[in-house]
Structure 1
Amino acid sequence: MAHHYHPIAIWLHWLMAIMLAIVCLSMEFISLYPKGSSGRTLMLSTHYLLGLVIVILAFVRLWFWWRSKPVENPDQGPMQKYIARAVFILLYGLMITLPIVGWVDIGLWDVSVSAFGWQLPQIASPDSVMAEELSQVHILMAKTGYGLVGLHGTAALYHHFILKDATLKRMLPRFRQRLS
């Protein structure tokens, strides 16, 4: 068992946390811009493209997690281990399925997305009724993700301030040296 998270795991964790925040904020701020404006287009493009990058990085992180030594965890009770595993599965499930659902949804809305001159293929035929329903599913999944991220952050703070263990510090790059 390893005592620390690998620097790549730490880097990917925080990169994806920032990207998830930007994806969420882009949709929260979209209403500030009128339809057809460059600001609204920027918010939508940011949302779409980072969503696509997130699904790719989720697979990279899972592959890296699978190939790495398990990290020694503080002594946890069975309920804490169960909740941690469930949140892990749900978070990764959402990081993979939510962008895919969004990709299908933009196809149903007959919206095209391009990045760096590459056109994202349409994977659904236009259907405005189905698009509206899938949009609601996408939003519900995103709100579930907000809750899971909040639970994840709360657990990290619980470990740091209540249990006073090194769980949070091990995921912060600057503390890695002190824990060796």
Structure 2
Amino acid sequence: MSNNSLRYSKTMVVIHWLTALLVLGAWLTAEGGREIVDNPPLLHFTLGLAVLALIVPRLILRLAGPAPEATGERGWLAIVAKAGHGLLYLLMVGLPITGWYAASRMGVTVSFAGVELPALTAVVPGRPGLIAELHENAGTFILILAGLHTLMAIWHQLVLRDGTLRRMSLR
């Protein structure tokens, strides 16, 4: 087995770690409630939309070449790992879109990289609704899921000693 089949590409590694930092940064800069109409959390919007923007090259890289061979995951553990990764991808797409939608419902202008994005829905008075609540709760859930992802990688590295962390390193 070649060294390349054991590791992700350097581009994928950079996107992975950048995405992790962006997700954490978006969570740390999150604000809620109608108050954001007067003082929109622009950094939160930028970080969240950057996660969405990174999904495109990430998916292209995943489709263009196979992932490195799994390190001994079999049976239910392999199923749980695939489901967890799938859920992380779903959240990396869904969270920015639901946030953009919720901001649109409140009449908050969303921009990314200096470009004003169109509103996804009409402005409504009062609470922004279920999608905004889902966005807020899913924001915490992605952080929990990413934490579990990290703990599993550490468990693989320290307990199973299968070199899992090496797959996502630049060395």
Query: TM-score normalised by the shorter chain: which range applies?
Result: 0.7 to 0.9
Question: Which residue number corresponds to residue 83 of structure 2?
Answer: 86
The residue aligned with 2:69 is 72
Structure 1 residues 144-173: Cα deviation after superposition (integer angstroms, max 9, x where no partner):
212210110111011011101111122121
Question: Which secondary structure does the structure 2 equivalent of 1:17 belong to?
Answer: helix
User: What's the offset of the Cα at 1:132?
Assistant: 3.6
Q: Over aligned residues, Cα RMSD in angstroms?
A: 2.2
Q: Contact (CA 8 Å) 2:45, 2:112: kept in 1 or not?
A: no
Task: Give deviations 1:98-157, integer Å, cap 9, x for gaps.
Answer: 110111100000111234542111111011346143221111111221221011011101
- For the pair 1:26 / 2:23, whether they are aligned, the reply is no
- Tell me whether 1:139 sits opposite 2:142 in the alignment: no
- Counterpart CA distance in 2 for 1:144 and 1:52 is 18
For the structure 1 residues 73 and 24, does the alpha-carbon distance in structure 2 shift closer, same or farther, using more than 3 Å as the test? same
List gaps (5 residues or longer) in structure 1. none
Superposition map of 1:145-156 within 5 A: 145-156=142-153
In structure 2, the CA distance between the partners of 1:156 and 1:116, relative to structure 1 (3 Å rule), is closer
Comparing 54-63 with 4-13, greater Cα deviation is found at 54-63
Distance 1:129 1:95, change over 3 A: same
Choose between structure 1 and 2: higher helix proportion: 1
Greater Cα shift, 128-137 or 45-54: 128-137
Tell me, in whole angstroms, the C-alpha distance in 2 between the residues paired with 1:69 and 1:5.
9
Taking structure 1 as the reference length, what is the TM-score of the superposition? 0.83
Q: Paired residues, what number?
A: 166
| TM-score, with length taken from structure 2 | 0.87
- Give, in angstroms, the shift of residue 59 of structure 1: 2.3
> Structure 1: how far apart are the matches of 2:129 and 2:88?
24
Return the alpha-carbon distance in structure 1 between the equivalents of residues 113 and 11 of structure 2. Answer: 26
Matched, 1:12 2:15: yes
Equivalent-residue separation in structure 2 for 1:113 and 1:120 (angstroms): 6
String of CA shifts for 1:75-116, please: whole Å, max 9, x gaps.
222111101100110000000011101111000001112345
SS in 2 for 1:128: coil
Q: In structure 2, the residue corresponding to 1:70 is in which secondary structure?
A: coil
In the alignment, does 2:50 pair up with 1:53? yes
**Larger relative contact order (CA 8 Å, sep ≥ 6):** 2
In structure 2, list runs of 5 or more residues that go unmatched: none
